[in-house]
Structure formats: structure tokens, C-alpha cells
Amino acid sequence: MTFEDEDAARGWLNNERRLIQLDIWTPPAERTPESKTCSVQTFGEFADQWLSERKTRRGDPLKARTRADYRRYLDRHLLPVLGHVPMTALAESKVRSWYDGMDPGTPTERAHAYQLLRAICTTATEVKVLAGNPCRIPGAGRATRAKKIRPAGITELQAIADNMPERLRLAVLLGAWCALRYGEIAELRRRDVDVTRGIITVSRGVTWPSRRSEVDGKLRSEPVVSTPKSTAGIRDVHVPPHILDDVKAHLKAHTQPGRDGMLFASSTGRHIHPRAFGWKFHQARVKAGRPDLRFHDLRHTGAVLAAQTGATLAELMARLGHSTPGAAMRYQHAAADRDKAIAQALSRMAEGLNALEQPLGGSTE
């Protein structure tokens, strides 16, 4: 036998050792085509098994949205090219060829697909299906944001909110001033809002993962309510006082009755799907002169505004519900123009101290 490279040879040898350990090894020359097919697992087969058994670092099942995203990356990007490849032949050269064939115009999608492939191959290496991880492309798992976000100004935020239907106006204000995600806003209930202390408790979120119907095979999405991905996502967010009256008015006029009443419900009393909300938001942002602004960009705006107040990295992480500092650091960088204001404040402080230190009544000499 010959092999494409050393990795492929080592992978074949590793598979032979696995057969020996399972006590099902036979000399390769004596194997029938059927037994060869059965003994060599394809990447598609391994990936499907990996996804069905995958758990979080804490040992919990994957969130429905995460599992659906992984399934989408597999079906759309990985399996069409690599699904038929035997695991023993999944070499670095094949990974590079697959990566080079992906559309560079979608850097985020490309990076996420590569991250998934690397995670699957890491598991394959750990269970000795692969001799080594073939995903060795430097920087392939990182993506430079293709779209540079321009935060909305305070006047623009107000204009967008004013152009929304009255029952949805508060959603825009919470997305910006409290930096909440759409899924967190859509699942808010009366019991989550404490107007006395001015606090919103975020402990759940709703997502709409796509699932293939067993009846007609079509992709459908149903709302799934769950806890945030990390414990950091469960948090209390203080509402800026200037929008607290808007919160009170919304609770009185537009919120379902009872402690479990939703703040934002559809005409049928269910969660408002992002597409239905997005159409209203699209109209409002166009009227406000910001057709480029997505709803999630409101969260970016709120984070930048919070950073501009001088919030520390830990404070930003707590307010935004981030478990790692990487994402929160972006907003501190975005607020780097505060350095001039900080320098000016230092000068005012120094000038004030100098004035205090001047002796009363002039010189003592």
C-alpha cells in the first residue's frame, strides 16, 4: 500500500492498532471489500456521531441553537467536500485544499466552519482515530469582521425607537441602553423587571433553531427557551434612569397580564420571531437614516456607550454577560477616544490640587 503523506500512513497504522485492540484484526490482504468498508469510518460518519454525543465543557448537552449551527456548518460546508473521506486519509493537505476552496468573501462563516472541523479532529485525535490533528492552518479559526459597525448616535437611537410601533418601542431602548440580545429581550417576563430597584434580571433567552420536519422534510424553526450559554449570561442589568419611565409605561400598556406575562408578544400571544420583528426594525432604521444598522448593532452601541463612561473590563463583562474578556475588550478599544477626555480630567484634577496647596494670604516669606 502507498499513502498520500506521513499523516495518512500513521492514520492507517493507528486504525490497524484499533482493530487489534477490538480483537477483530485480520491481515489486510485477506480482507474482503465489505470488511474494508466496515472497518474504515468516513469523516461524515464520525462527524455525525461526534455531534450526537457532543457536550459542553461542564458536561451539559449542547444548546439547541448551537447544535443547529453545527449541523448547518456540517451540511453546508464540511460534508459536501470531506464527508466521504476516510478518517485515516484526512490529512493536512486535504484540510488545506478544503479551506482554500471556501468563499473568502464570507470570513466569519469560513472561520466557524474551520473551528468546527478542528474540534471534531481534536476529538478524533483524543480517541486515537487520528494520529494527529490535521487542522494546522495558522489564523484560520479567526475572522476579521467584514462589516465595520458604526455605533448609533443618541439622536439616531431615539429616532429609531420613535419610528417603531408603540408596543415594540421599548425593545429598541433595551437593546441599546441595556445592551441586551434580541433573544433575551423576546423572552422577558413581568417577573424579570423590578421597577422599584430599576433592574432587569436576564436568566433565559429564546432561539429559533432550524429542524428538518419528519413529515415533509422541510426546515422549520420553533422557539426554544433555555438558559444562556454560560453562567455569565445570567445577570442583573440596571436600567438607565432616563428610560425607566418607558419601562413602566410599557408594563402598563403592552405587557401580558400575570407574573409570567411576556413584555413583547405576537398577535397570537407567542414569542415574536426575529424576522417579524426585523421587518419593523428595518422600516424604523431606514426612516432614521441608518439603514445599515442591524438590531444586534444596538448591543454594540450600548457596550460602547458603557465603555465611554469609564467602565472597567470586568464591569463590561458583567453587564454584557460575557464569560471571557475577549469580546468585552473590543468595546474598550472602540472607546479609546476617551483617552483625550481622561487626560483633560487629569489636568483639571492637577489644577485643583495646585489651587488647594497655595498658602492662604499669599507668600509666607
| pLDDT tens sequence across 184-235 | 999 999 999 999 999 999 999 998 887 665 556 666 778 889 888 777 789 9
Please tell me the distance from the alpha carbon of residue 200 to that of residue 321, in angstroms, as a whole number.
13
Q: At residue 304, does pLDDT exceed 60?
A: yes
Is 322 among the residues known to form the active site? Answer: yes
Question: pLDDT tens digits for 132-169?
Answer: 999 999 999 887 655 677 888 899 999 999 999 999 99
Instruction: Please give the CATH architecture assigned to the domain spanning 154-339.
Output: Orthogonal Bundle (1.10)
Q: Which residue has the cell 476552496?
A: 101
Marked catalytic residue, from 235, 299, 300, 319: 299
Helix extents (H) in the chain: 6-21, 33-39, 43-53, 64-73, 79-82, 92-100, 107-126, 154-162, 169-177, 182-186, 244-253, 274-287, 295-308, 313-320, 325-334, 338-357
pTM above 0.85, yes or no: no
Order the strands of the 199-202 sheet from edge to edge: 193-194, 199-202, 235-238
Task: Let me know: does 195 contact 251? Beta carbons within 8 Å.
Answer: yes
- From residue 364, how far is each of 214, 351, 357 by CA, in Å? 93, 21, 13
Is 114 among the residues known to form the active site? Answer: no
pLDDT of 282 reads 96
The predicted model gives 1-8 an average pLDDT of: 74
Marked catalytic residue, from 70, 73, 99, 331: 331
Q: Would you place residue 306 in the very low, low, confident or very high pLDDT band (cuts 50, 70, 90)?
A: confident
Strand 219-221 versus strand 205-207 pairing type = unpaired
Is 70 among the residues known to form the active site? Answer: no
Please tell me the distance from the alpha carbon of residue 42 to that of residue 138, in angstroms, as a whole number.
25
231 vs 358, residue with greater confidence? 231
What does the block give as the cell for 73? 456548518
What does the block give as the cell for 279? 421587518
Q: At residue 362, does pLDDT exceed 50?
A: no
pLDDT of 350 reads 74
Is 181 among the residues known to form the active site? Answer: yes
Lowest-pLDDT choice from 16-30, 50-64, 305-319: 16-30
Task: Let me know: does 201 contact 239? Beta carbons within 8 Å.
Answer: no
pLDDT of 182 reads 95
Q: At residue 248, does pLDDT exceed 70?
A: yes
Marked catalytic residue, from 65, 77, 300, 322: 322
pLDDT of 339 reads 59
- From residue 115, how far is each of 35, 77, 95, 228, 236 by CA, in Å? 33, 12, 12, 21, 32
Using alpha carbons, select from 128, 133, 119 the residue that is nearest to residue 41: 128
Question: pLDDT tens digits for 272-287?
Answer: 999 999 999 999 999 9
Counted residue by residue, the chain has a size of 365
Q: What percent of the chain has pLDDT over 70?
A: 84
Task: Let me know: does 226 contact 63? Beta carbons within 8 Å.
Answer: yes
pLDDT of 82 reads 94
pLDDT of 112 reads 94
Domain with CATH 1.10.443.10 in the chain: 154-339
Is 331 among the residues known to form the active site? Answer: yes
Lowest-pLDDT choice from 2-6, 30-34, 233-237, 292-296: 30-34
pLDDT of 355 reads 58
The predicted model gives 52-79 an average pLDDT of: 88
Marked catalytic residue, from 181, 285, 290, 319: 181
186 vs 104, residue with greater confidence? 186
CB neighbours of 203 closer than 8 A, spacing ≥ 6?
192, 227, 228, 234
Question: pLDDT tens digits for 307-341?
Answer: 888 777 888 888 888 877 766 666 665 555 555 66
To the nearest 10°, report the CA torsion of 351, 356, 357, 363. 110
b/e code 115-127 from CB counts within 10 Å (16+ = b): bbbbbbbebbbee
Across all residues in the chain, what is the average pLDDT?
84
Please tell me the distance from the alpha carbon of residue 148 to that of residue 145, in angstroms, as a whole number.
7
Is the domain 6-126 a CATH 1.10.150.130 member?
yes
Question: pLDDT tens digits for 342-351?
Answer: 667 677 777 7
Q: Which residue has the cell 492662604?
A: 360
Task: Let me know: does 344 contact 329? Beta carbons within 8 Å.
Answer: no
